[in-house]
Chains A and B, each alone.
Chain A
Amino acid sequence: MGRIGIILEKTGKTIEGKVEEMGRTVLMCLSIFSWMVRPPFKIRPIFKQMEFVGVKSIFVVVLTGTFTGMVMALQGYKGFRTFGAESMVGATVALAMTRELGPVLTSLMVTARAGSAMAAELGTMRVTEQIDALYVMAVNPVKHLIVPRVIASVVMVPLLTVIANFVGILGGYFVGVHVLRIGSGAFVSNIVRLVDLEDIYHGLTKAAVFGLILSVVGCYKGFNARNGAEGVGRATTEAVVLASIAILVSDYFLTAIMF
């Protein structure tokens, strides 16, 4: 009984801790939204973050998108060939990229690159008292540090997704048409016939939500980092793991709602 009691107590405390953290994350979200609409509005920090989150992620997103499109074409071809529907490869790649792989892979790459950096940067600022210094100078750190990062992520992840979709389809086209010898006309016409604008819009909406998730989680973890370098390291790891899980879980629910 004693051992069961201890197990129950520990489980209860863990759940309590997680629920408390969820509550704090929601409060931070509310704080972010309220600071987003309160003046002063400064564009420069947002553009700086857009460059960091977006422009500097282009290379890794292009690489990921291209190879994903290429491998999708390769795998799809093997499947479709068994019942003579090779021409469907293009549409399959395009649908998979626009609806699912584009937004998910892009946001996972941005989480790894920029979400982790947000957690590390804010965490370092926290443990070296730079965030306290902002408070002391009557500057709200949520407004000054977090709002630009969140806005930049919500704007840039969908834009990066557009790039990922484009290069993914291009990679699929290259493999399908030039390597697997599928007819170019059939490849493209099936894409045009089967991919609706709605598929693209819904994919981009998901990407914006993922941008929100990865930036809020990264900033939340960094902002609440404690205990020096070790704490910053832990915050960074937790930010990447939690944001990745949250993206994949929310992806299911968003898909269920939208498609």
Chain B
Amino acid sequence: MIELFQLHKSFGSQKVLDGLNLVIEPGRTTVIIGRSGGGKSVLLKHIIGLMKPDQGKILVDGVDIARLNDRGLNEIRKRFGMLFQEAALFDSLTVGENVAFPLREHTKMTDLEIRLEVKERLKAVGLFGIEEKMPAELSGGMRKRVGLARALAMKPEIVLFDEPTTGLDPVMTEAINNLIIETQRSFNLTCVVISHDLQSIFKIGHNIAMLYEGRIIEYGDSAKVASSENPVVRQFLNGSIQGPMRLM
């Protein structure tokens, strides 16, 4: 279980997280929604220890990762996988080498075993025979799927998705959403997804948390959030310019 207590984070005079509290349930998909530039990616980076909070606790199964040193953090990170917004594939490596990267770094698998595992991981995300291609040769959707294959290579318990469907066409969006749902179900993963694609939010999310002005202002299952009376949530879900939410 991931628990965030009283998280504060500022960049200069700009407060991004302001006493944020959130519990991410294990074995479920929690979607964090909120306006662009509202601190969703910052929150995700805190969960995996890429950023340290100014104040507050980030507990992963009771361990406060904000207090861990590099070695401790690396041990925790081995339980995580992350799909970045632009997939963050290493552009000097082939697709196969990208997916094999964590296996080469952290396991004693032989070359043959790694090759078979890579093939298997790519097959699981619907990709065949592209091991020798370079990331630059791939479409946006393919890059994200390779990124997901890499994120899942070490069989993580927790997977973080940073806007997995942003910039994709509706068909590819649907394919990625289905992939997230299937992956979550088959491996009983804890997933944290950042998104502002309304269709995707309700399709993939068991729980939805709305981040606004550095705090979670609404949290619950899809039905609860969809029927929320909170005017900020309503404005966000309706995509309306009129309302209490300030445009940046």
Contacts and interface: CB of A to CB of B under 8 A. Distances in A.
B159 to A, nearest CB: 11
Contact of B90 (A130, A135, A138, A140): A130
A129 B105 contact: no
B106 interface: yes
A130 B82 CA distance: 12
A128 interface: yes
B88 A130 contact: yes
A132 B89 CA distance: 11
A137 B86 contact: no
Interface in B29-72: 45, 48-50, 70
A132 B84 contact: yes
B74 interface: yes
Provide the main secondary structure of the chain A interface.
helix
A133 interface: yes
A160 to B, nearest CB: 23
Contact of B106 (A135, A138, A140): A138
Interface in B72-128: 74-75, 77-78, 80-82, 84-86, 88-92, 101-102, 105-106
Contacts of B89: 130
Contacts of B102: 137-139
A136 interface: yes
Contact of A132 (B78, B81, B88, B92): B88
A138 B82 contact: no
B55 to A, nearest CB: 22
Interface in A106-142: 121, 124-125, 128-130, 132-133, 135-140
B77 A128 contact: no
Q: Which of B45, B78, B105 has the most CB of A within 10 A?
A: B105
A69 to B, nearest CB: 37
A128 B49 CA distance: 18
Contacts of A138: 74-75, 77-78, 102, 105-106
A130 B87 CA distance: 9
Contacts of B74: 138, 140
B88 A137 contact: no
B195 to A, nearest CB: 17
Nearest to A31: B70
Contacts of A121: 92
A81 to B, nearest CB: 54
B88 A133 contact: yes
Contacts of B101: 137, 139
A34 to B, nearest CB: 11
Contact of B50 (A124, A125, A132, A139): A132
A121 to B, nearest CB: 8
Contacts of B88: 128-130, 132-133
Given A121-B92, A130-B91, A140-B70, 17 more contacts: A124-B91, A128-B91, A129-B84, A129-B86, A130-B90, A132-B50, A133-B82, A133-B84, A133-B88, A135-B49, A135-B50, A136-B50, A136-B80, A137-B154, A138-B75, A138-B105, A140-B74
Interface of B: 45, 48-50, 70, 74-75, 77-78, 80-82, 84-86, 88-92, 101-102, 105-106, 154
25 contacts: A121-B92, A125-B90, A128-B88, A129-B85, A130-B88, A130-B90, A132-B45, A132-B88, A133-B82, A133-B84, A133-B88, A135-B50, A136-B48, A136-B80, A136-B82, A137-B102, A137-B106, A137-B154, A138-B74, A138-B75, A138-B77, A138-B78, A138-B105, A140-B70, A140-B74
